[in-house]
Structures are given as C-alpha cells and as structure tokens.
C-alpha cells in the first residue's frame, strides 16, 4: 500500500521543472502495487480458507476489484476530477492535477494504516493441503 501512496504522490507532484524525474519513474511502483494488492490478496485468501471456499472467494475478490470496484472507482474519479476543474479566463477548463492525485494518495495512506493495524499473521486456517496426487476438482467434491 505504501507503493500506491508513493506512486500517486509522484503523479501529483511530477512536473516539467525540478521534479521532472517523477513522471519518468512514477510507473515503476506499479508492479509492486499489483503484486502486493491483487496477488498477495489472493494468496492471503487461499491461506485463510479451505480450498473449497478459497476458489469462490478469489473469484469474488476479482469481481469486486476488477468489476464493481473499477466501475464505482470511475464514478468517484469523475466527481473528484470535476470538483478540481476550474474555467480559465480564456474559456478552457483547467484541472488542479496535484489536488486530484492527492485524493487517492491520502485514501491509500488511510488504507495502509488500516492494513497495518488490522492485519494479523495468524496460522493458516484449518484448511487441509492437497495431497500430491489429489486434483483441485476432487478436493472440491469432498
């Protein structure tokens, strides 16, 4: 989550002046963001649920993040961008991109604090690991 905060701050503060390096490097944290949110989220679900419920839970997580999450996120994003849009004297619409990018940066920082406080590294739930010869479909039919 810290990589998300860093990435969004770099989007907000990067410019063509002394911070010109930020636009060049702001996409580098993307791999970290993806790995530690989506992939690690699925690994966490897999560790906390028995196999029969882990697979549907991973599907639900994917649907919530890539489906509903992106739809709702785009609606919220539109409102944020519109909120920070101001007409110029020439009639063009100007956006305060720094303020726009600080909204997801702050939101990611808040989520980071919640993760930091709420995450517990407990032992794996009472899920039984698959035997080497057992397939996923046979484990689901138990």
**What confidence tens digit (pLDDT) does each residue in 58-81 have?**
888 889 888 998 999 999 999 999
User: Assign residue 123 a region: left if phi > 0, alpha if psi is -120 to 50, beta otherwise?
Assistant: beta
Give the domain range for residue 116: 2-140
**Total of domains in the chain:** 1
CA–CA separation, 48 vs 121, rounded Å?
10
Question: Which of the four pLDDT bands, split at 50, 70 and 90, describes residue 85?
Answer: very high
DSSP label of 90: T
The whole-number pLDDT of residue 6 equals 87
The tens digit of pLDDT for each residue in 101-128 reads: 999 999 999 998 998 888 766 654 444 5
Q: What's the longest Cα–Cα distance across the chain?
A: 72
């Amino acid at each position: 989550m810290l990589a998300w905060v860093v990435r969004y701050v770099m989007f907000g503060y990067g410019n063509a002046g002394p911070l010109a390096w930020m636009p060049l490097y702001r996409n580098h944290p993307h791999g970290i963001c993806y790995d530690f949110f989506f992939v690690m989220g699925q690994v966490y679900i897999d560790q906390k649920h028995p196999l029969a419920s882990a697979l549907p839970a991973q599907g639900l997580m994917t649907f919530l993040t890539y489906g509903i999450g992106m739809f709702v996120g785009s609606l919220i994003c539109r409102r944020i961008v519109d909120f920070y849009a101001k007409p110029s004297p020439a009639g063009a619409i100007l956006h305060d991109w720094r303020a726009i990018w600080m909204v997801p940066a702050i939101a990611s920082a808040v989520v980071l604090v919640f993760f930091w406080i709420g995450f517990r590294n407990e032992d794996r739930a009472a899920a039984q690991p698959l035997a080497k010869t057992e397939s996923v479909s046979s484990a689901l039919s138990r």
